[in-house]
Amino acid sequence: MSKMNKKSEDAWQILRIQGEFTKGFDTLNELYKCISVFGSARTPKDNKWYKEARKFGGLIAKEGFGVITGGGPGIMEAANQGAKEVGGKSIGVGIELPFEAGMNPHVDLGIECRYFFTRKVLFAKYSQAFVVFPGGMGTMDELFEVMTLAQTGHAPEFPILLVGKKYWGGLVDWLQETVAATGRMSQKDFDLFRIVDTAEEAVEKLVEHNAKYRKEDTTNF
C-alpha cells in the first residue's frame, strides 16, 4: 500500500470510529440506572451460572435497573432474558465477530460495534455498576478495563462485583501473592471489587450501594 493510500485509509477509519461513537451515543443516550453484566458466551443454558445470571437479570430489573450485556449468547443472553421476563430494560452492545450469530433474542434495544474499544466506552458510559460472571478472555478484558478506570479515577465510583467465589478465587489469590506482593498493585486496589456467590447477594450489594448514594444526595448512581 502506498503512503497516499495509507493516509486515505486512516482518514476513513477515523470517520468510521466517529460514526460508531455517534450512533452509540444517539442510541443509548436516554438510558438511566443500568447495570452491565459480563460473562462467557460459551455458557450453556443448563449451567449453574446461566441460571444465576438469568435470575440476576430478573431481580435487578425488578429493582428498577436496566441490564446491559454484550448482546450475545451464554451469560449475556441469560441476563437479558431475566430482565425481559419481568418487563425490565434489556440492552445489548454487540461486537461483530465471525463466530457469533449477532444479538440474542431477548435484547430490546441493541447496537452492533465494529471496534472493541468503542464498545467498552459504551459499557462504561452508560453503566453505574458491573457484575461479572465466570468467563474467559473477553470477560477478563472487560473486567480489567473497568477496574483500571476505577483505579485511575477515570470514572466515577461504581460497584464491581465478581460472581462465583470458587471461580474467581484463584485470580484474586494470584493478584495478592504475585502482583501485589511484588509491588505492582496496592492493597487499596482490592477495595475496587467484591466477590459474591449468588444473584441474590449481587442484587443486595447493588441495592445497598444505591441507597447509600441516594442518602448522600449524589447523582453517581
Range of the domain at 130: 34-215
Q: How many structural domains does the chain have?
A: 1
Mean pLDDT of the chain: 91
Contacts of 83 (CB under 8 A, 6+ apart): 57, 58, 60, 61, 66, 67, 89, 90, 106
The CATH number linked to 49 is: 3.40.50.450
Q: Does any domain span residue 109?
A: yes
Q: Does any domain span residue 12?
A: no
Q: Does any domain span residue 18?
A: no
Q: Does any domain span residue 140?
A: yes
What pTM did the predictor assign?
A: 0.90
**pLDDT, tens digit, 9 for 90 and up, residues 174-214:** 999 999 999 999 999 999 999 999 999 999 999 998 877 66
3 state SS of 117: helix
Q: Does any domain span residue 20?
A: no
Q: Does any domain span residue 166?
A: yes
**pLDDT, tens digit, 9 for 90 and up, residues 102-160:** 799 999 999 999 999 999 999 999 999 999 999 999 999 999 999 999 999 887 778 99
pLDDT for 11 equals 82
- Alpha helical stretches, state H, the chain: 3-28, 48-62, 75-85, 116-126, 137-152, 165-174, 199-215
Confidence of residue 220 (pLDDT cuts 50, 70, 90): very low
